[in-house]
Amino acid sequence: MSTPSGTPENPFSDDRGQEDADRSGGATGGASPLPSYNAYAASGPTDPTNAYAAPMAGSAYPGPGARLGALLIDFVVVWILTGVIAVIFVDFSSITLAAQIGMQFISLVIWLAYRIGMEVTTGASLGKMALGLKVVDASGATLSAQDSLMRNLWYVVSTAVGMIPFLGWLLNLGVCIAVGVTISNDQFNQSFSDKWGKAYVVRSR
């Protein structure tokens, strides 16, 4: 093919390339160029199932109010379970001090079995499920049994000091306050026992 002047047309000329580009733009409705890789990478992860690929905003870590609500639900669950066992095995006509201590121990075992079992298998107790919370490690995975035990040791401490005569209730209250205060004062809303277990409580929805 030749030009009007008789000179052969160069098929690789810039004009032809520009015509191809124009046609391409017209086929896509004049779409703007694709964003660069740097612009894409800066937008962060888009996979909704990978919530822990980047640091989460502060609102992702629930404060002491939400966690207290979940804790109260768990207390009700354990109280019901303990009550069922007490009705079956305890003679309420003659409750001795030994029987009271025994029930405290049974309640503690139920609490630990319930909380650790739920955290290791599902990542959340019933209380946390009800409020859309979850317990994870630094990588976003569910806790190991050892780490879950460590983060729940505060309840062991609370139960132990609560059995001290006269001052037990006050010391028990002090442990609970310490949990709430350390959650409020921490960047990631971790309690002191969360740090023992290297655990984070996050929102699951």
Tens-place pLDDT, residues 15-52: 544 555 445 444 444 444 443 433 333 333 333 334 44
On whether the CB atoms of residues 150 and 183 are closer than 8 A, the answer is: no
- Of the candidates 98, 101, 141, 89, which has an alpha carbon nearest to the alpha carbon of residue 119? 141
Q: DSSP characters for the chain?
A: -B-TTSPBP-TT-HHHHHHHHHHHHHHTTSPPPPPPHHHHHHT----TT-TTSSPPPGGGS--HHHHHHHHHHHHHHHHHHHHHHHHHH--TTS--HHHHHHHHHHHHHHHHHHHHHHHHHTSS-HHHHHHTEEEE-TTSPPPPHHHHHHHTHHHHHHHHHHTSTTTHHHHHHHHHHHHHHHHHTSTT---HHHHHTT-EEEE--
10 Å Cβ neighbour count for 135?
26
10 Å Cβ neighbour count for 140?
15
Q: What's residue 92's pLDDT?
A: 72
The domain ranges of the chain are 62-203
Cβ-Cβ contacts under 8 Å for 107 (sequence gap 6 or more) = 78, 82, 159
Q: What is the pLDDT along the chain (205 residues), one digit of tens a residue?
A: 544 455 555 544 455 445 554 454 444 444 444 434 333 333 333 333 344 444 454 469 999 999 999 999 999 999 999 989 888 887 777 778 777 888 889 999 999 999 999 999 999 999 999 999 999 999 999 999 999 999 999 999 999 998 898 999 999 999 999 999 999 999 999 999 999 999 999 999 8
**Alpha-carbon gap, residue 26 to 162, rounded angstroms:** 77
On whether the CB atoms of residues 64 and 184 are closer than 8 A, the answer is: yes
Is the overall model pTM greater than 0.85, yes or no? no
Q: What's residue 97's pLDDT?
A: 78
Q: What's residue 18's pLDDT?
A: 52
